[in-house]
Amino acid sequence: MPKSDSGGIGAKKGFLYQDYVAAFYALMMLYDKSAIAIRCEVSDDIDIVYDDRIEYIQVKTTAADRSWQLGELTKVSSKPPKTGGKRKIHNKDSIIHKSLDCDSDDLPGYFCIVSPRDVAKKLSYLKCPFNERSKIDGRDALLKSLKSKLKRYKSANGNDVEYWLDHAKWVTIPSIEYIELQAFKLITTIAYEYYGIYLEPTRHPERILNDLLTNLIKKSATSIALRSSDNKIYNREDFTSWFKGEIEHYGASSNPQVKIYTVDKKKLTAILSTFFEDDARYDFDGYKQCRGLKGSYHRNEYKYDAISNGIIKWLPEVLLRPNEIADQSAEKLEDKIRLYTSRKKQSLSSIEELITKVLLHSTIRTQYNSQPIPAHLYIDDDDNSSFDNIHIILNEHQPDALLMGFSYLIDKDIPASISSIVKNFDALLESKAFSSRNEKILEDKEDGYLLKHDIDDILSPNTSLDEHLSRFKFAFFLGYETDILQCNNKDMANDYVTNLKAEVSSHFEDLINTLTRHDQFFESLNISVYLYPIPSIEALKTLVSNNMGEL
């Protein structure tokens, strides 16, 4: 990424307080997925557009030695009386008038005043969080005073000063230096927790903040551009993309002390490729996705070795816990090798489970921004049921989701296998032990090694699957032997791809139809089905076993 020195132009003291406030709120937008955009000097000094409201922020830097008084908020200008009149004409242009004037959008309006000066005691009610205001005194007296000044003045949406009082807050930010420190902390924390990028705290956050300020005040056309609408509106999607580019640039020159599971697609290699997709077959409340996966041929021969090598490369993520992967100390190297070898040897006894688990794991890791939760999460039932893949799906602009995966290698009657899969899945969701999954997931995930996520709120012991259906995803991986594919592609029909797509689509329909016939509830689940047709299951199992035994 090309860079210039323009981000550092001007001493930090030269930037206006309002620009720093705008930069700070833009950074805060990275934390809040309900924030859609930040607008500079559109309705108010700063507007933050959320999915359910708009917050109008006035920035007031009027110099004074004392705290803000009520009269300053309600003070209006005046002009001489009209010809023949005796009284001056008072304009409706106080701070509160101007704040109410912003309330003209379809979304509910909220109001905020940011200033380096604190407020007097009579206005301290405005500093109290909205959800705690019912516990404190001061509202009635303050409302009476405001009504006496603003009378019956209303916004374009018909809201009066009482509405303003109940939707307004005061934020005291004492200085530019204070904003800088908070912004540096935000930049460093977000870079590491959300993107796994370590920034040098003494240099990089200041440069990124200066780059942001440069974009906001448009002082240089040579800085990396932050996309905006009309040079005043910065959408969250554009801002997160810009921020990621900044931290990737600066992080590349620092010590790569990153989180364990990268989401950089350039560093993740899929074992199988997608040759068929169908997302529109069903119109249920929960989506039903079909993905056909395939291996490749080289010099007419099916590349079992490429699949085997891919499985072996992904094994550390599957067999080792995050703390074991992270420990690179020389004194622990032998123990780590011994542990890995032991687990690899154990997995050879269930080679089919290992193959399908790794294939699904690699597919999810390369198709989503995911953070895997390692190890089988066994459910305490008589059948020793388990999810063989658990992944946190990271979403930049929506709440994160939890993916639960099941994988199978089918070398016999597929309809009978599908029926058995559905029955086992239904029994698992119905079992009392399934309710303990939240505790097991919370125990197994090691957040210190994972990128920042927000799934803990759906794993609370007092929540249920039904309450968070949109944030749970279920994945079925079905590897199966097919007569359409041969180990040598010269033995296959010319239209084998068309036939293979039809076969995959048919098996997908069989699974979804069996699920929804078994229980209508499954229509509401988000389900992805990965179907992997293969010429010979035995050939793949033998090669993977031999290659793992040689390691």
Per-residue confidence of the chain (551 residues) as pLDDT tens digits?
A: 444 444 343 333 434 799 999 999 999 999 999 999 999 989 999 999 999 999 999 999 877 778 999 999 999 988 777 666 667 777 899 999 999 999 999 999 999 999 999 999 999 999 999 999 998 899 999 999 999 999 999 999 999 999 999 999 999 999 999 999 999 999 999 999 998 888 988 889 999 999 999 888 764 333 456 766 666 899 999 999 999 999 998 887 665 555 789 888 888 999 999 999 999 999 999 999 999 999 999 999 999 999 999 999 998 888 888 887 876 655 565 666 676 677 777 766 688 888 999 999 999 999 998 999 875 544 444 455 567 889 999 998 899 999 999 999 998 889 999 999 999 899 888 876 666 666 777 777 888 889 999 999 888 877 888 899 999 999 999 999 999 999 999 999 999 999 999 999 999 999 999 999 999 999 999 999 999 999 999 999 999 999 887 65
Residue with tokens 């953070």: 371
pLDDT of residue 432: 65
* Burial per residue of 249-268, b for 16 or more beta-carbon CB atoms within 10 angstroms, e otherwise: bbbeeeeeebbbbebeeeee
- pLDDT for res 32: 93
Q: Nearest-CA neighbor of 171 among 46, 311, 1, 39?
A: 46
pLDDT of residue 333: 59
DSSP 270-306: -SSEEEEEES-S---SS-EEEEEEE--EETTEE-HHH
Calpha distance 60→376 (Å, rounded): 56
CB atoms within 10 A of CB 428: 19
3-state secondary structure of 454: coil
Query: Kindly report the CA angle at 419 between 415 and 425, in degrees rounded to 5?
Result: 140
In the DSSP assignment, the letter for residue 461 is: T
Q: Who's near 497: CB < 8 A, 6+ residues apart?
A: 275
d(CA 434, CA 366): 28
Q: How far apart are CA 141 and CA 157, in angstroms?
A: 25
Closest to 261 (Cα-Cα) out of 179, 368, 102:
368
Instruction: Give the Cα separation of 199 and 210 in Å (integer).
Output: 15
Cα-flanking dihedrals φ and ψ of residue 357, to 5°?
Answer: -65, -45
Note the pLDDT of residue 10. 34
Predicted TM-score of the model (pTM): 0.76
CB burial of residue 520 (10 Å; 0-12, 13-18, 19+): exposed
Distances (CA, A) of 176 to 11, 15, 61, 203, 210: 12, 9, 11, 18, 13
Rounded to an integer, what distance in angstroms lies between the CA atom of residue 40 and that of residue 19?
9
The two tokens of residue 127 are 């500093």
* pLDDT of 190: 94
Calpha distance 14→445 (Å, rounded): 46
